Structure 1
Amino acid sequence: MPNGAQILVEGLVDAGVDVCFANPGTSEMHFVSALDGAPRLRPVLCLFEGVATGAADGYGRMAEKPACTLLHLGPGLAGGLPNLHNARRARTPVLNIVGDHALHHKRLDAPLESDITALARTVSGWTRRTCRAGDLAGDLAEAVAAAYGLPGCVSTLVVPADVSWSEAGKGGAGPIAPRTGAVSPDAVSGAAQALRSREPAALLLGGAATRGAGLTAAARVAAATGARLLCETFPARLERGAGLPPVERLAYRGSDAVAQLSGVRHLLLAGAAEPVSFFAYPGQPSRLVPDGCAVRSLAAGSEDVTAALEALAAAYDALTPIPQAPIRPGLPTGALTAESAAARSARCFPKEQWSSTRRTPPGCGCPAPPRAHHRTTG
């Protein structure tokens, strides 16, 4: 009969989780052993917990399904908290498996004993400790469902060592269900009515609205109504570049964001929260929305923001937005800035000039010797 660790690994595979970023210790060794028999779950050893959680956050944002982390007790989870905080704010689907002392060992207050559940709740939308091996399959199924469901969250399952090594029954989490969400007709009609007022308006995008289909629908609305198109300062994932409509980011500094929003009378939130300053400053507002501006939520939380934007675009004779054209920038001069560094990279590494046999881009115009400045290409 399989033990608890094998049931965990089997359940992760059945749920479609295919990578585990791990920084294990003694209490997780049975899980590590179970990985040897599960080739479809790829283990990635990380030498620091923050690397494991950061990698899981990035993987979840891009793959749009949970990555798994394997962490060692409360101190191991604590080492990964900063990037799990980022995952929580970005609503990234992440599943933490955190090992703990065996149940009969906890009362001894061993040197690494801590309140793992309290730590987990600071960043997790779902947290549970499994105390019986027979409950692992069901608890894992709930953890995966919570992580993957809209709007996505960090799930943390705490697994004592003796639960991992004890015999457990059969079971699995099952395949991950598609992420679906509702659209509020009232929110769509209210947004359309606000935009028809022809008062200055802005769309603030976040979540799925900053990806291809959502961006295109939002740009159609902006083209038809004259509304400004903005996105969160730090979107979870922003698709941009040639073939996509441009979108302006909300400024990081509160005073700059206030200037950006000055004069806006209607602010429509599409997958984004009402903007506030990152920090409080003497004599400056914490809320960035100008006085007299009406704030409406088009879609948030478990709602389908892309479908809501497409429904809003359908309420107008929406124009097709002009996408950004592919442009190769000239070789920059002057001070080194983020823009000039990006322009230099684009100038020196034009994708269209790469081939399977050419390892350095020809004719980039860079004054540096080819070997010195293209060394990273191999």
Structure 2
Amino acid sequence: MIGSQALIRTLVDAQVSVCFMNPGTSEMHFVHSLDSVPEMRGVLTLFEGVATGAADGYARIADKPAAVLLHLGPGLGNGLANMHNARRAHSPIVAVVGAHATFHEKYDAPLQSDIESVARTVSGWVHTSGLPRDVAEDGAEAVAAAMTAPKQIATLVLPADVSWSEGAEPVAPHPAQLAPAVPSIKVSSISRSLASQQNTVILLGGPALGERGLRAASRIAAATGVHLLAECFPARLERGAGVPNVDRVAYLAEAAQEQFDGVTRILLAGAVSPVSFFAYPGKVGDLVPEGCVVETLAGLDQDIVGALEAVARDVAAEAEPVLSAAVDTPRPTGELNVMTLAAAIAHTLPDNAIVVDEANTSGFALPAATAGAPRHSLLTLTGGAIGQGMPVAVGAAIAAPDRRVVNLESDGSALYTIQALWTQARENLDVTTILINNSSYAILRMELLRVGADNPGPRALEMLDLSKPDVDFTAIATGLGVSAVRVTTVDELVDAIERANSTPGPSLIEAIVPPIA
């Protein structure tokens, strides 16, 4: 058996059954081997950043890795931004990066590069297969490394001759190292302290933002009076009716400082100590108030949910979680703006939807509007590298084909990875993309002022303007095989969303919304 066939069989046996790809010459034997292992679903993308983002979205919903196949160092480079986001999300991904044949490296051919060094910037595990007889073992180790807490990207570099040569055989899956329990003595100590310490915030992140973690944290808050906050950009947050509602740490440092004002203790449960997203002249970057103590209940390498449930048993045995009540959001009327946009999404959100939010400035009203909407999973821009939304929607839809994916996408971000629409059409994915078009990098207009660059001139403002010419997203989507419509009123928006959500396959709605900044 050749190396690539043994590798794919090993991946499938380890429950890695989807591979997002944009292959090249060095990966042709991997592509050819897909016919020998039909259980592996190959998903073609037109750009590596779509493949890596899709693998991220798949992992967040499936809670297991997808594979992603990239072409040499430049292909890895093209996929790097969304691998950065996936690293921040702690998404388990097995990245297979093709390389020149081992005997060809000495020639320093045009595509030769240091793949391992680039991969290490986003990967927790990196390895190059040297021989066909080792490649399946390396693949099994990559899956185990990706799934070992804290979950991570595992990158396997696959030289072309290792892929095409005989002498390989599949191997059994390797066990991943499970997250250990937080020591009971630590749980007991924290439980005792919660009864006596006031002005405490439990900052939730990672698995703590699933339903089990939220219910346990809500019970603790109900019994002790501690306040709950979620990290600013969670990989996955369960929300809506029947789930405890938790506010997220604000993006703007000034607003986050207000959230932590008067807090004397921050208890971390799967989150890190809060800092501002950027540095600003004359403003603090550390959001922890002076004199506040930061303590960790459980990190991402530990059983976070188990720790919260143990504390809840200690301090909140009789308490019930506070669940969000269902809210029947009325059909919005009036002009189309960021407020009516949020109301339209809440009004039309299907039950058990997956919401992929890359709305940026235009989405500030969404959390409040959707708190009582039907139950949904929220996926956000974890690492700040824009161009995440459309690819993540691809992966989420493949991971959960029975759930409608609603992608809230800003116009500037969409242009980074709009090729994802082609894959949505090719795979006939149930994705409704609401593309919010304000013809600007509105968030950068806001940041221009926040960094102290007052009174910008016309040349500076031109660099943040996406008109001249206006981008016709409806035409682009249609050209990529996705049905699309442009709306300018809230009535048109609601009708378009309802139509899209009830129609199988992908749709795009270009909503013309004025910027808020």
TM-score by length of 1: 0.91
Which deviates the most, 314-323 or 223-232? 314-323
Aligned counterparts of 1:194 and 1:320: Cα–Cα separation in 2: 21
* Equivalent residue letter for 1:243: G
1:185 to partner: Cα distance:
2.1
Q: Secondary structure at the match of 1:330?
A: coil
Q: Does the C-alpha gap of structure 1 residues 337 and 290 become closer, same or farther in structure 2, counting only changes over 3 Å? A: farther
Question: Matches of residues 154-173 of structure 1 in structure 2 within 5 Å?
Answer: 154-173=153-172
* Equivalent residue letter for 1:252: Y
Specify the alignment match of 1:10 in structure 2. 9
1:348 to partner: Cα distance:
4.3
1:213 to partner: Cα distance:
0.2
Specify the alignment match of 1:28 in structure 2. 27
Which deviates the most, 179-188 or 268-277? 179-188
Aligned counterparts of 1:214 and 1:369: Cα–Cα separation in 2: 35
Q: Does the C-alpha gap of structure 1 residues 20 and 351 become closer, same or farther in structure 2, counting only changes over 3 Å? A: closer
Residue 331 of structure 1 pairs with residue 331 of structure 2: yes
Q: Does the C-alpha gap of structure 1 residues 370 and 207 become closer, same or farther in structure 2, counting only changes over 3 Å? A: closer
Q: Secondary structure at the match of 2:310?
A: helix
Question: Matches of residues 24-173 of structure 1 in structure 2 within 5 Å?
Answer: 24-173=23-172
1:116 to partner: Cα distance:
0.5
Question: Which whole-Å deviations, capped at 9, do the CAs of 1:89-141 have from their partners, x for residues lacking one?
Answer: 11110000000000111111111111101110000000001111111122112
Q: Does the C-alpha gap of structure 1 residues 325 and 81 become closer, same or farther in structure 2, counting only changes over 3 Å? A: same
Q: Does the C-alpha gap of structure 1 residues 43 and 191 become closer, same or farther in structure 2, counting only changes over 3 Å? A: same
Question: Matches of residues 175-190 of structure 1 in structure 2 within 5 Å?
Answer: 177=176, 179-190=178-189
Aligned counterparts of 2:208 and 2:493: Cα–Cα separation in 1: 43
Specify the alignment match of 1:347 in structure 2. 347
Question: Which whole-Å deviations, capped at 9, do the CAs of 1:55-97 have from their partners, x for residues lacking one?
Answer: 0001011101011000000000000001100111111100000
Aligned counterparts of 1:211 and 1:262: Cα–Cα separation in 2: 27
Question: Which whole-Å deviations, capped at 9, do the CAs of 1:197-238 have from their partners, x for residues lacking one?
Answer: 241111100010000000000100011111111000001100
Q: Does the C-alpha gap of structure 1 residues 198 and 313 become closer, same or farther in structure 2, counting only changes over 3 Å? A: same
Specify the alignment match of 1:239 in structure 2. 238
1:310 to partner: Cα distance:
0.3
- Say what the alpha-carbon RMSD is for the aligned residues: 2.0
Residue 322 of structure 1 pairs with residue 317 of structure 2: no
CA contact (8 A) 2:348 2:494 kept: no
* Equivalent residue letter for 2:265: H
CA contact (8 A) 1:23 1:47 kept: yes
* Equivalent residue letter for 1:106: E
1:303 to partner: Cα distance:
0.5
Q: Does the C-alpha gap of structure 1 residues 271 and 32 become closer, same or farther in structure 2, counting only changes over 3 Å? A: same
CA contact (8 A) 1:133 1:164 kept: yes
1:320 to partner: Cα distance:
0.2
Question: Which whole-Å deviations, capped at 9, do the CAs of 1:138-165 have from their partners, x for residues lacking one?
Answer: 2112111110111100000001000101
Q: Secondary structure at the match of 1:286?
A: coil
Aligned counterparts of 1:308 and 1:349: Cα–Cα separation in 2: 33
Aligned counterparts of 2:36 and 2:178: Cα–Cα separation in 1: 30
1:315 to partner: Cα distance:
1.1
Q: Does the C-alpha gap of structure 1 residues 337 and 294 become closer, same or farther in structure 2, counting only changes over 3 Å? A: farther
Q: Does the C-alpha gap of structure 1 residues 348 and 160 become closer, same or farther in structure 2, counting only changes over 3 Å? A: closer
CA contact (8 A) 1:70 1:98 kept: yes
Q: Secondary structure at the match of 2:194?
A: helix
1:18 to partner: Cα distance:
0.8
Aligned counterparts of 1:198 and 1:334: Cα–Cα separation in 2: 48
Aligned counterparts of 2:66 and 2:169: Cα–Cα separation in 1: 23
Question: Which whole-Å deviations, capped at 9, do the CAs of 1:331-375 have from their partners, x for residues lacking one?
Answer: 3356645453232133346659xxxxxxxxxxxxx7549976754
CA contact (8 A) 1:94 1:154 kept: yes
Q: Secondary structure at the match of 1:248?
A: coil
Aligned counterparts of 1:100 and 1:68: Cα–Cα separation in 2: 16
CA contact (8 A) 1:144 1:173 kept: no
Q: Secondary structure at the match of 1:249?
A: coil
1:322 to partner: Cα distance:
2.3
CA contact (8 A) 1:15 1:176 kept: no
Which deviates the most, 130-139 or 238-247? 130-139
Aligned counterparts of 1:131 and 1:197: Cα–Cα separation in 2: 58
Report sequence identity in percent.
52
Q: Does the C-alpha gap of structure 1 residues 370 and 303 become closer, same or farther in structure 2, counting only changes over 3 Å? A: closer
TM-score by length of 2: 0.67
CA contact (8 A) 1:191 1:296 kept: no
- When the two structures are aligned, how many residues end up with a matched partner? 364
* Equivalent residue letter for 2:302: E
Aligned counterparts of 1:41 and 1:125: Cα–Cα separation in 2: 24
* Equivalent residue letter for 1:32: V
Which deviates the most, 328-337 or 80-89? 328-337
Specify the alignment match of 2:405 in structure 1. none
* Equivalent residue letter for 1:326: A
Aligned counterparts of 1:302 and 1:88: Cα–Cα separation in 2: 14
Question: Matches of residues 194-205 of structure 1 in structure 2 within 5 Å?
Answer: 194-205=193-204
Aligned counterparts of 1:62 and 1:173: Cα–Cα separation in 2: 25
Which deviates the most, 139-148 or 172-181? 172-181
Q: Does the C-alpha gap of structure 1 residues 299 and 337 become closer, same or farther in structure 2, counting only changes over 3 Å? A: farther
CA contact (8 A) 2:344 2:494 kept: no
Gaps of 5+ in 1: 353-365
1:32 to partner: Cα distance:
0.5
1:25 to partner: Cα distance:
0.4
Specify the alignment match of 2:250 in structure 1. 251
* Equivalent residue letter for 1:273: V
CA contact (8 A) 1:124 1:153 kept: yes
Specify the alignment match of 1:307 in structure 2. 306
Aligned counterparts of 1:87 and 1:36: Cα–Cα separation in 2: 29
Specify the alignment match of 1:360 in structure 2. none
Q: Does the C-alpha gap of structure 1 residues 115 and 194 become closer, same or farther in structure 2, counting only changes over 3 Å? A: same
Question: Which whole-Å deviations, capped at 9, do the CAs of 1:252-281 have from their partners, x for residues lacking one?
Answer: 111111111010111100000111111111
